Amino acid sequence: MSCKTPLLGKKMPELVVKTTHGQLKLPEDYKGKWFILFSHPADFTPVCTTEFVAFQKQYDQFKELNCELIGLSIDQVFSHIKWVDWIKENLDVEIKFPIIADDMGQVAKTLGMIHEGKGTNTVRAVFVVDPEGILRLMLYYPQELGRNIEEILRIVKGLQTSDKNGVAIPANWPNNELINDHVIIPPASDEKTAKERRGQENCYDWWFCHKKI
């Protein structure tokens, strides 16, 4: 099976995976929930360990957003179990989300997690999937750069805010340099609305208006 990149806005490929919490069917078992599937290059490595601790520290905040976490690497399940035990014993952090044991590499290949020039380990991929099983966002980090978990949490909040309110999310939201914690409303789609918006409060122009929600 060759590596390929999934498409945003499409259904996540159906997968049956072996995890530290038993067998899971993706995205079926998470229907009605958001979930984040993230890969790491290998167990028992320093950067990956810092990431797992950081994800666990924020796990309750993800769950408040109806969002679950799922890790993955091309390691066997017993390696995951021993690594999770090591983290608990040595760092006093209990990893409570499942980790996929993709020891044959089929999931990684299906989702394009193995990149040429980075060996046979997975890159640090992040897939954000909505309650309908639709792939909403992908991020790829090189092996040498750990992820910012606060940004991934912001991503989920931003996507949910956009879906609920029919708005767009500005850069660095909710601390944008121009509009602070406001969101961007859709641009005018006809001349009448465009004319009405010119000069209105919270409008830079007819195509750039914002509001607080």
Question: Residue 88's beta-bridge partner residues?
Answer: none
Last residue of a domain, one of 113, 147, 181: 147
Whether 51 is covered by a domain: the verdict is yes
The pLDDT score that the predictor gives to residue 88 is 98
Judge whether 104 and 15 are in contact, CB under 8 Å: no
56, 99: one domain: yes
Question: Residue 129's beta-bridge partner residues?
Answer: 35, 135
Strand, helix or coil at 132? coil
106, 187: one domain: no
What CATH number has the domain bearing residue 183? 3.30.1020.10
pTM here is 0.92
49, 125: one domain: yes
> How many C-beta neighbours within 10 Å does residue 64 have?
9
Whether 34 is covered by a domain: the verdict is yes
Whether 157 is covered by a domain: the verdict is no
119, 170: one domain: no
* Structural domain total, the chain: 2
Domain that residue 200 falls in:
166-213
Each of the 213 residues of the chain gets a pLDDT tens digit; together they read 345 678 899 999 999 999 999 999 999 999 999 999 999 999 999 999 999 999 999 999 999 999 999 999 999 999 999 999 999 999 999 999 999 999 888 888 888 887 666 556 788 999 999 999 999 999 999 889 999 999 999 999 999 999 999 999 999 999 999 999 999 999 999 999 999 998 899 999 999 999 999
Q: Which of 167, 130, 179 is nearest to 30 (CA)?
A: 130
205, 139: one domain: no
Whether 23 is covered by a domain: the verdict is yes
What is d(CA 10, CA 135) in angstroms, rounded to the nearest whole number? 6
39, 107: one domain: yes
What CATH number has the domain bearing residue 107? 3.40.30.10
Catalytic residues: 48
What is d(CA 191, CA 27) in angstroms, rounded to the nearest whole number? 43
77, 137: one domain: yes
55, 133: one domain: yes
59, 96: one domain: yes
